[in-house]
Structure 1
Amino acid sequence: MIRITISEEDRVRRTLILLLTAVTALVLAPPAQAAPGFTVSYETIPGQGGTPLRAFVVEPTGRGSGPFPLLVLPSSWGVSDIEYVGAAADLAYRSGYSVISYTSRGFHDSAGEVDVAGPDTVADVSRVIDWGIAHAAGDATRVGVGGISYGAGQSLLAAAADPRVKAVAALSTWTDLARSLYPNETVSTQAVELLLALGRLTGRPGPVLRDAESAYRQDRFADVLPISPPRSPVTNVDAVKAAVLIGNAWNDGLFPPGQVTDFFQRLTGPKRLMLSPGDHATAEVFGAAGLPNEIWNSVGRWFDHHLKGVDNGIDREAPVQLKPNNGGTWRPYASWPAVTRRTDTVALAGTRIGTGWPTVAESGAVLVSGALQGFLAIPTAVATPLVDRSAAAVWRGPAQRSRTTVAGTPRAHLTVTTTAARTSLFAYLYEVDPLGLGALVTHKPVTLTGTGTRALDLDLEPTLWDVAAGNRLVLVVDTVDLRYGGKSTLGSTVTFGGDSRLEVPQS
């Protein structure tokens, strides 16, 4: 049985809920005389300090009066409470969860201001849990939280703050905000601009976000860094006792995978890591709508096991599940360090380049490039013969005699001499065929301050990538990339010493 209750008149919401429930009914509903079913209601929930939060509440029917395991799903940045209703209906119908999908503070129909996952937003998760226990037949001993992007980060922060949270599903999450948006002191401009635009368009920025944007516009991004530690789950990772599932994409343009793998290693409780092709939220977005999705299938199994005690075998599977970025099936690993079985070293000859001049080597566009890789297997490409050697260093590794797999975190050890006060470097690792045509495997920026010579250890983003026999790995380092706010200027130089080397992790 499917029943709809709407707490107030709202034409847009009424239309959306009717359409969504009708579609869900066609997919999920059993014969009219059978049970179980679910109800959907549109509610106002008092958040921290009484701030009204709007939410869709999906409750199971035909399973008795409860209490039921409770799932709380905060919305993504710029997205409303309708985000997870499809998945919520599926979880309520198939597994008997009481699910609350709500609009995060300051966005759309929820009141308050956007505080960038600040104390009030994190406390909202606990207030929604309170409400779900009191009004949605939620079981206080079986509470799970989860979400995508902004909702994922909130979930990890809430798990550290509220001991009632027993299981977490964090998809396309950040764990270190500064490391994500300001990697190696280089602003991820496209990501920051996208987040700011969505914040203004769909929300009401609070003082923290307004001040952060002002500092960013004035090229004072370093002044924004103090807001990061209290908003980064890694700061209180030791306080996270819940069972944590993390699902991210290799090419996530907002929250790259390196900060996730480091966080995952520090978790001490039950944990599962899933990395797959795609960009920010692309691997799991359709699952949130209730469509078949392997990530959300694992989310359901994770909650079933850790909240309901279902013996579905997920606890006996390898905790690290990786799908190669350039195609293939899931591969299991006992831990993140176990992904790398050996490391090959490639010597990098000394060379000098000019700075501030773009080349054809690029990391691609946020969301677009990673989505093309994930959905269509179209990589960010380069023709290495066209890379301007006066503006970029190009090092060619040996041709592979058989298929090999880059597995883990490539690392460049560079001896660098700079002549400008600030210089940005962008390192790209490509798989290149005999014609010199390459596909981007991974990359990483770094901005150096001061002149002179120094040793630089640069970790590229982790990856799992199969290199075909006959192809080779090529490392390119230049000084301009359109994705980032680099600091290189024309007229200066960068010299790489002959004792530099590239370490390539392999499985």
Structure 2
Amino acid sequence: MALRRLFSVFIGLILIVAGLASPARAASTTGFQAVDISGDGGVTLKANWIAPAGDGRHPVIVFPSSWGLNDAEYLAQAKILAGKGYVVVSYTPRGWWFSGGTIDTAGPLDMADLSRVLDWTIANTPADATRIGAAGISYGAGISLLGAGADKRIRAVAALSGWSDLVYSLYSGNTRHLQSSGLLQLAAQLVGKPSPELTRMLGDFNGNTNVEQIKAWGRARSASTYLSAINANQPAVLLANGWGDSFFPPNQLTDFFGKLTTPKRLELRPGDHAIAELTGVLGLPNDAWQSLYDWFDHYLAGTDNGIESRPAVHIDPLNADGESYPTWSALAGTTRRYGLGKIRLLDGTGLLGGAVSSGWTKKLPTDKDTVANGGVVLLTNGASAITGQQPSIWLPFVDRGRAGVWAAERPSRAQLIRGVPKVHLELSGAADTGTLVTYLYDLDNLGNAKLITHAPVTWLSRTSSVDVDLFATAYDLPAGHSLTLVVDTVDPLYYDENASGGSVTVTGGSYVDVPLR
């Protein structure tokens, strides 16, 4: 309890200072008021609110706090938004910090709580009940997006670093995500009160038991499950995430975005989970938060700022200037197929490119790691967003006895990769269960290889091939650099289903499809 209180005070002081130091905004405000809001079943939800000073009704933004944080998280942004004319209510979801109840993980109790917060806001603040928005980062984003399907009073949503498919987040590529789930569990144990259900689900996840029950639990907490309700309610939906989000990889959002029939916008930037929004939490200028302002200013405050007429998709590639497109599918104009070729004895590398070939094999041990990996959750891609440099390895250090490596010929002009590269691997001698991890690199003339994207794939019954959708990316491969594929069987980011001492053989007929602009 002392740790919780100390950390809460520390975050609060930092954000208050940041809020006070933020640029002056249009109007004076009421100042912050701490309140207790009665959630579903009488559970106490700790909250704070701030509003423009003076008379009249104002548009509302409700912020559920992130996983592991509390309602002090948004103090700096709440002050800015109140100065722009909004009533802002931030609250700590049940089970976290000093709120009552146990963690519901964006389940039905959290949805009921969100509606109770809206009830309280309408009754106790100068709120305009016809102009309500919900927003947040991570857990707050997920609750807000789900809430738009559960409560039709929510007219606009800004979901920053959130999820639309919790099952994909936990099991993309049919592979359990080890590091991200471990951090979520640690946060819940340190500053939360896990429900018996959450404890059971995490135990089953770590033990790889009762998988279908876990997936059913995840589907009940996925906005994709309630897509028809969201479309029927017609809220304006802003989705913003990082290319390298190791908690909620972006592929799920691109699929969900394409099926939305509401006013909508999708933004993808470099970085890991919640990194793109971080400086904005401190009240500093920030592109993601500026988009949030523009979104709510138009769809809640009625400002004619033209955001509704901008292209619906905006991306900041990993190493290029920002680009806008009318749809996600418009990013790539063509798809180029790179066949995997025979491994050369001289350097242990095969050719990536040309026609799909046959008559070759590459045997991989199932319990041997290499220097090729996806990095460390939050830290690796987070640092990349700050430095502008992708994580890299020296390709000669990739042990060819443990990995397959295929390098393409060096093009005379840059290749603009946009979208979801797909890998098809033909297999021989695979065990009944197994895992492979594939990495796509940018290889320069000195052997330095920058990670463009990667993804794991797991099979749970005997198979002769696997298909891997790599995580969505936008990257300009420079002229004279080689597009390079590495395949191995171990990555610390993920659980694997490989038997110790076994092997799997990749064979001819394998290829990579790369979307190009």
Question: Which TM-score band (shorter chain)?
Answer: over 0.9
Distance 1:148 1:504, change over 3 A: same
Q: Please, which of 255, 260, 268 is the counterpart of residue 275 of structure 1?
A: 268
Q: Deviations over 1:189-247 (max 9, x none)?
A: 00010000000101000122111122134332614222011100011112112110011
1:232 aligns with 2:213: no
Residue 14 of structure 1 and its aligned partner are, at CA, apart by: 8.2
Q: Aligned equivalents of 1:501 and 1:247: distance in 2?
A: 31
Q: Aligned equivalents of 1:361 and 1:20: distance in 2?
A: 38
Residue 42 of structure 1 and its aligned partner are, at CA, apart by: 0.5
The corresponding residue for 1:488 is 498
Q: Please, which of 319, 339, 357 is the counterpart of residue 347 of structure 1?
A: 339
Q: Aligned equivalents of 2:382 and 2:170: distance in 1?
A: 19
Q: Deviations over 1:313-339 (max 9, x none)?
A: 1111111100011x3322111110000
Residue 13 of structure 1 and its aligned partner are, at CA, apart by: 7.3
Q: Deviations over 1:443-493 (max 9, x none)?
A: 110111233523x22111110001111001111111011111112234322
Give the TM-score of the pair, scaled to structure 1.
0.93
The corresponding residue for 2:513 is 503
Residue 71 of structure 1 and its aligned partner are, at CA, apart by: 0.6
Distance 1:19 1:265, change over 3 A: closer
The corresponding residue for 2:243 is 250
Q: Aligned equivalents of 1:388 and 1:488: distance in 2?
A: 19
Checking the alignment, whether the CA contact within 8 Å between 1:106 and 1:204 is kept in structure 2 is: yes
Q: Aligned equivalents of 1:184 and 1:48: distance in 2?
A: 36
Q: Aligned equivalents of 1:92 and 1:361: distance in 2?
A: 47
RMSD: 1.9
1:425 aligns with 2:436: yes
Distance 1:141 1:412, change over 3 A: same
The corresponding residue for 2:49 is 57
Residue 378 of structure 1 and its aligned partner are, at CA, apart by: 3.2
Q: Please, which of 50, 63, 67 is the counterpart of residue 73 of structure 1?
A: 63
1:331 aligns with 2:323: yes
The corresponding residue for 2:302 is 309
The corresponding residue for 2:381 is 370
Q: Please, which of 405, 408, 412 is the counterpart of residue 416 of structure 2?
A: 405
Q: Please, which of 181, 190, 193 is the counterpart of residue 182 of structure 2?
A: 193
- Give secondary structure in 2 for the equivalent of 1:130: helix
Residue range with higher mean Cα deviation, 476-485 or 221-230? 221-230
The corresponding residue for 1:6 is none
Checking the alignment, whether the CA contact within 8 Å between 1:38 and 1:89 is kept in structure 2 is: no
Distance 1:23 1:372, change over 3 A: closer
Residue 498 of structure 1 and its aligned partner are, at CA, apart by: 1.3
Checking the alignment, whether the CA contact within 8 Å between 1:447 and 1:487 is kept in structure 2 is: yes
Give the TM-score of the pair, scaled to structure 2.
0.91
Q: Please, which of 59, 73, 76 is the counterpart of residue 83 of structure 1?
A: 73
Gaps (5+ residues) in structure 1?
A: 1-9
Distance 1:293 1:427, change over 3 A: same
Checking the alignment, whether the CA contact within 8 Å between 1:418 and 1:452 is kept in structure 2 is: no
Checking the alignment, whether the CA contact within 8 Å between 1:187 and 1:221 is kept in structure 2 is: no
Q: Aligned equivalents of 2:505 and 2:469: distance in 1?
A: 19
1:466 aligns with 2:476: yes
Q: Deviations over 1:407-456 (max 9, x none)?
A: 011011222224322110001000101222101100110111233523x2
Q: Aligned equivalents of 1:40 and 1:339: distance in 2?
A: 43
Residue 36 of structure 1 and its aligned partner are, at CA, apart by: 3.2
Residue 355 of structure 1 and its aligned partner are, at CA, apart by: 1.9
Q: Aligned equivalents of 2:27 and 2:241: distance in 1?
A: 36
Residue 141 of structure 1 and its aligned partner are, at CA, apart by: 0.5
Gaps (5+ residues) in structure 2?
A: 342-359
- Give secondary structure in 1 for the equivalent of 2:508: coil
The corresponding residue for 2:33 is 41
Distance 1:189 1:176, change over 3 A: same
Checking the alignment, whether the CA contact within 8 Å between 2:15 and 2:73 is kept in structure 1 is: no
- Give secondary structure in 2 for the equivalent of 1:56: strand
Q: Aligned equivalents of 1:278 and 1:370: distance in 2?
A: 5
The corresponding residue for 2:351 is none
Residue 503 of structure 1 and its aligned partner are, at CA, apart by: 0.6
Checking the alignment, whether the CA contact within 8 Å between 1:444 and 1:461 is kept in structure 2 is: yes
The corresponding residue for 1:24 is 19
Residue 21 of structure 1 and its aligned partner are, at CA, apart by: 4.8
Residue 495 of structure 1 and its aligned partner are, at CA, apart by: 2.1
Count of residue correspondences: 490
The corresponding residue for 1:106 is 95
Distance 1:496 1:23, change over 3 A: closer
Checking the alignment, whether the CA contact within 8 Å between 2:22 and 2:80 is kept in structure 1 is: no
The corresponding residue for 1:97 is 86
Residue 47 of structure 1 and its aligned partner are, at CA, apart by: 1.1
Q: Deviations over 1:387-409 (max 9, x none)?
A: 22222111112212111211011
Residue 50 of structure 1 and its aligned partner are, at CA, apart by: 1.7
The residue identity in structure 2 corresponding to 1:73 is: F
1:132 aligns with 2:121: yes
- Give secondary structure in 2 for the equivalent of 1:127: helix
Q: Deviations over 1:354-380 (max 9, x none)?
A: 221111111111001111110012322
Checking the alignment, whether the CA contact within 8 Å between 1:172 and 1:249 is kept in structure 2 is: yes
Q: Aligned equivalents of 2:228 and 2:384: distance in 1?
A: 35
Distance 1:347 1:90, change over 3 A: same
Checking the alignment, whether the CA contact within 8 Å between 1:284 and 1:296 is kept in structure 2 is: yes
